Structure 1
Amino acid sequence: MLQQFLEVNIWVLIVIMARVGTVFSLMPGFSAGYISTRFRLSMALAVTFMLLPVLAAYVPPLPVNAVAMFLILAGEVIIGAFLASIGIFVISALQAAGTFIAYFSSMANALIQDPVANQQSSVISGFLSTAALVAIFAADLHHVALRAVIDSFSLFQPGQPIAFGDMSQTLAITLSDSFALGLKIASPMLLSALVYYISLGILGRLMPTLQVFFFGLPLQISMQLWVLMICFSGMMMVFLQAYSDAYTPFLAP
């Protein structure tokens, strides 16, 4: 009797851990390369233990064969990757916005190692991604994402068929919306750059001997940085609202 009780509880722990652990392995803020694997595993295991009494009712009974067990665990990993990908796609909007801003400000060749995207990107992209990650934790929006993971057990119950079509459509819409969000965030810099280029072109026609590169480049960089400083708080508010809205459909009413 004791052995059967332990087997059932370990099975429930493994199923919940498969989904929660996948989220912690991929979600921005927890999946960075500078965060040790041991820490991520410890966090996922601690959260799983806390959720065990709440989510045990959603876990199907222990299968009688290894194939059914593997299919259930594979489904949990897929659902966890799906939930984490939503956060990845939303925060990638800042990568697009930073690339646009760096291009407008003639700083596209100033590259750094982005700690959030784990790849080389422009200075503006790295700054926006890091600031957005800090803002997510400061505004407790990581709680919204974790709550969406918890409520997903009632929406995507373990052992049930996975709606791959709906998942693919959701990810495609999220990715397209993230690109539009990046363009929206960078729109103040786009507008200021457009006005600046038109003004510089008119000035170049009026003064053919004007040293455009010597005169225009420092002014362009300084103007874009000033506009970024003025609009930065509004940009972060727009991003945080989009991040919250991305996980809201997965929250239980």
Structure 2
Amino acid sequence: MLQELLELNIFAFFLIFARIGTAMVFLPGFSAAYVSTLLRLGIALAISFLVLPTLARDLPLPPNSAFELANMMGAEILVGAFIGLIMRIMISALQTAGTIAALASSMANALINDPIADQQSSTISGFLLTTAIVLIFVSDMHHLMLRAVVESYVMFVPGSELPIGDFANAIGRQVADSFALGLQLSAPFLVVGLTYYIGLGLIGRLMPALPVFFFGLPVQITVQLMMFTITLTGIMLAFIQNFQSSLGRFVQ
């Protein structure tokens, strides 16, 4: 009896860890390059252990064959990857906004090694992503991310058939929504940049001998940095509200 109970608890623990651990690989903040792999593993193990008593009673019994076990574990890994990717795509809206703003302000070549996106990106994108991660953790919204992962067991019951088609549709829809949000957040920079280039073109026509690009680039960067300072609060507020409402789809 004791051996069967131990086998059941070990199976339930690793089944839960498969989903939560995979989600940790993609969750914003937890998946950043500066977060130690051991720390990420420890957080996933701790959360799996904490939610084990609550979720164990709703989990299926251990399968009789290795193939069924591998199939069940693979399904849990897929669900964890889906939830983590959705949240990763949500925050990519700021990367889109920062890239467009950098192009509009002639700062696209000012690249930094972005630890959040784990790649090179523009300075504005890196600043926006880092600020977003700080706000997410300061406002305790990372609890909402972890809650969404745990409550996914209500939406995607272990052992049941996975809606693969719905997964693909949800990811595609989230990519479109994130791109649209990034475009909206960068709209002030596009408007200012377009207006500035029109004015620069008129000056060039009126004064052909004037080297417009000699003084035009510093003025453009200065104006766009001032615009960035003015709109930063609104950009982050709009993103946080959108991020919270998007996470609400996974929280009961």
Normalised-by-shorter TM-score class = over 0.9
Partner of 2:72: 72
Q: Secondary structure at the match of 1:250?
A: coil
Given that 1:58 and 1:154 are in contact with CA atoms closer than 8 Å, whether structure 2 keeps it comes out as no
Q: Say whether 1:53 aligns with 2:23.
A: no
Q: Which amino acid aligns with 1:240?
A: I
Partner of 2:16: 16
Given that 1:19 and 1:80 are in contact with CA atoms closer than 8 Å, whether structure 2 keeps it comes out as yes
Given that 2:203 and 2:212 are in contact with CA atoms closer than 8 Å, whether structure 1 keeps it comes out as no
Given that 1:86 and 1:246 are in contact with CA atoms closer than 8 Å, whether structure 2 keeps it comes out as no
Measured after TM superposition, the shift of residue 198 of structure 1 is 1.3
Count, aligned residues: 252
Alignment of structure 1 residues 145-224 onto 2, 5 Å? 145-224=145-224
| Inter-partner Cα distance in structure 1 for 2:141 and 2:191 | 30
Measured after TM superposition, the shift of residue 57 of structure 1 is 2.1
Partner of 2:102: 102
| Inter-partner Cα distance in structure 2 for 1:57 and 1:172 | 34
Q: Which amino acid aligns with 1:211?
A: P
| Inter-partner Cα distance in structure 2 for 1:249 and 1:34 | 29
| Inter-partner Cα distance in structure 2 for 1:42 and 1:215 | 54
| Inter-partner Cα distance in structure 1 for 2:172 and 2:126 | 24
Measured after TM superposition, the shift of residue 40 of structure 1 is 0.7
Q: Which amino acid aligns with 1:67?
A: F
Partner of 1:226: 226
| Inter-partner Cα distance in structure 1 for 2:181 and 2:225 | 20
Q: Which amino acid aligns with 1:228?
A: F
Deviation readout 1:34-68 (Å, 9 max, x if unpaired): 21111111100111111111111221011111111
| Inter-partner Cα distance in structure 2 for 1:210 and 1:241 | 46
Q: Secondary structure at the match of 1:127?
A: helix
Q: Which amino acid aligns with 1:150?
A: V
Measured after TM superposition, the shift of residue 201 of structure 1 is 1.3
Alignment of structure 1 residues 21-36 onto 2, 5 Å? 21-36=21-36
Identity of aligned residues (%): 49
Structure 1: unaligned runs, 5 residues or longer: none
| Inter-partner Cα distance in structure 1 for 2:140 and 2:206 | 54
TM-score in terms of structure 1 length: 0.97
Runs of 4+, deviation exceeding 6 Å: none
| Inter-partner Cα distance in structure 2 for 1:219 and 1:192 | 12
| Inter-partner Cα distance in structure 2 for 1:213 and 1:197 | 10
Q: Secondary structure at the match of 1:218?
A: helix
Measured after TM superposition, the shift of residue 218 of structure 1 is 0.6
Given that 1:93 and 1:181 are in contact with CA atoms closer than 8 Å, whether structure 2 keeps it comes out as yes
| Inter-partner Cα distance in structure 2 for 1:137 and 1:8 | 35
Q: Which amino acid aligns with 2:247?
A: Y
Measured after TM superposition, the shift of residue 242 of structure 1 is 1.6
Q: Which amino acid aligns with 1:48?
A: S
Q: Secondary structure at the match of 1:121?
A: strand
Q: Which amino acid aligns with 2:125?
A: S
Q: Say whether 1:132 aligns with 2:132.
A: yes
Higher mean displacement: 131-140 or 221-230: 131-140
| Inter-partner Cα distance in structure 1 for 2:215 and 2:31 | 44
Measured after TM superposition, the shift of residue 144 of structure 1 is 1.4
TM-score in terms of structure 2 length: 0.98
